């Protein structure tokens, strides 16, 4: 673990015994990944159990998924394994940490270290050193090409957009117009759905 990474985790994350266990888990995941080398057809023996899982998903959500996609949680770079035994190429370009590839060993290790930090809430009321160190890192990177001085860590891009809109309104005295690009996606909150160019997200909204 480098000095740059160490402050981002709890003291346990730099414990030698914990580090050995994390390395063992990552190694086990990598061994499992070796079976995912390319696209693979569904296993006929899993057809009924997969159908039951899809039905269960639709029941709890109120509607079924857009695509028959329920992953096992294991992947290998651009490859993902589904509950029906099939392996698919991820052509959705990934979201979030999946831009590093599915089951990326670095992300797996980071997630395990993050799990040692017991405070989930990182906001204005409570926070761990993790969010402070992460904010410092982001500010240092951003200052290379900007005048950014501060950072408040948020849990989603949508909430960042909401906060940015508040700052813009305060700065401009509440300017009545917002310019947005055609086909843009801003988020699914009430405000962001009004700005984004996706009519489906505005159905039933005032």
Report the C-alpha gap between 6 and 129 in whole angstroms. 11
Instruction: Report yes or no on 194 lying in a domain.
Output: yes
Alpha helices, DSSP H, located in 94-128: 105-114
* pTM higher than the cut 0.85: no
For the cut 60, the answer to whether the pLDDT of residue 4 exceeds it is: no
Span 83-93, pLDDT tens digits: 999 999 988 76
Q: What is the mean pLDDT of residues 52-75?
A: 93
Within this chain, do residues 171 and 79 fall inside the same structural domain, yes or no?
no
Within this chain, do residues 147 and 166 fall inside the same structural domain, yes or no?
no
Most confident of 63-67, 82-86, 180-184: 82-86
Domains in the chain, number: 3
Residues 6+ apart with CB under 8 A from 79: 36, 37, 38, 39, 87, 88, 89, 90, 102
Report the C-alpha gap between 88 and 41 in whole angstroms. 9
**C-alpha closest to that of 148 among 162, 164, 159:** 164
Q: Are 47 and 82 in contact (CB under 8 A)?
A: no
Within this chain, do residues 48 and 21 fall inside the same structural domain, yes or no?
yes
Q: Helix, strand, coil proportions of the chain in percent (round to 5)?
A: 50, 10, 45
Please give the residue range of the domain that contains residue 110: 6-118
Within this chain, do residues 22 and 62 fall inside the same structural domain, yes or no?
yes
Within this chain, do residues 41 and 86 fall inside the same structural domain, yes or no?
yes
58 or 121, which is more confident: 58
Instruction: Report yes or no on 20 lying in a domain.
Output: yes
- Identify the residue whose tokens are 């086909």: 183
Within this chain, do residues 135 and 186 fall inside the same structural domain, yes or no?
no
Span 117-172, pLDDT tens digits: 766 666 777 788 888 888 899 999 999 999 999 998 887 888 999 999 999 989 88
Instruction: Report yes or no on 1 lying in a domain.
Output: no
Residue 15 gets the label, from left (phi > 0), alpha (psi -120 to 50) or beta, of: beta
Q: Are 158 and 189 in contact (CB under 8 A)?
A: yes
pLDDT of residue 119: 65
Q: What is the mean pLDDT of residues 53-64?
A: 95
Report the C-alpha gap between 52 and 164 in whole angstroms. 43
Within this chain, do residues 25 and 64 fall inside the same structural domain, yes or no?
yes
CA distances from 197 to 34, 66, 126, 185, 186 (A): 41, 20, 35, 6, 8
pLDDT of residue 57: 96
Percent of the chain with pLDDT over 90: 48
- How many Cβ atoms from other residues are within 10 Å of residue 182's Cβ? 5
Instruction: Choose one of 118, 142, 177: the last residue of a domain.
Output: 118
Within this chain, do residues 94 and 43 fall inside the same structural domain, yes or no?
yes
Mean pLDDT of the chain: 87
Residue 206 tokens, joined: 């005032």
């Amino acid at each position: 673990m480098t000095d740059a990474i160490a402050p981002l985790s709890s003291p346990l994350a730099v414990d030698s015994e914990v580090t050995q266990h994390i390395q063992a888990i990552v190694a086990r995941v990598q061994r499992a990944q070796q079976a995912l080398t390319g696209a693979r057809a569904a296993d006929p023996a899993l057809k009924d159990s997969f159908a039951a899982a899809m039905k269960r998903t639709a029941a709890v959500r109120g509607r079924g998924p857009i695509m028959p996609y329920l992953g096992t949680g294991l992947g290998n770079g651009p490859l993902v394994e589904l509950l029906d035994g099939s392996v698919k190429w991820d052509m959705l370009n990934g979201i979030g940490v999946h831009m590093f590839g599915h089951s990326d060993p670095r992300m797996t290790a980071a997630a395990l270290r993050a799990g040692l930090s017991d405070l989930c809430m990182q906001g204005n009321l409570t926070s761990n050193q993790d969010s402070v160190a992460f904010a410092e890192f982001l500010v240092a990177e951003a200052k290379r090409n900007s005048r950014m001085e501060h950072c408040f860590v948020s849990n989603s891009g949508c909430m960042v957009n909401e906060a940015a809109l508040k700052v813009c309104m305060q700065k401009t005295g509440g300017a009545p117009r917002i310019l947005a690009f055609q086909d843009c996606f801003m988020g699914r909150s009430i405000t962001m759905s009004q700005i984004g160019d996706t009519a489906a997200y505005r159905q039933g909204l005032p």
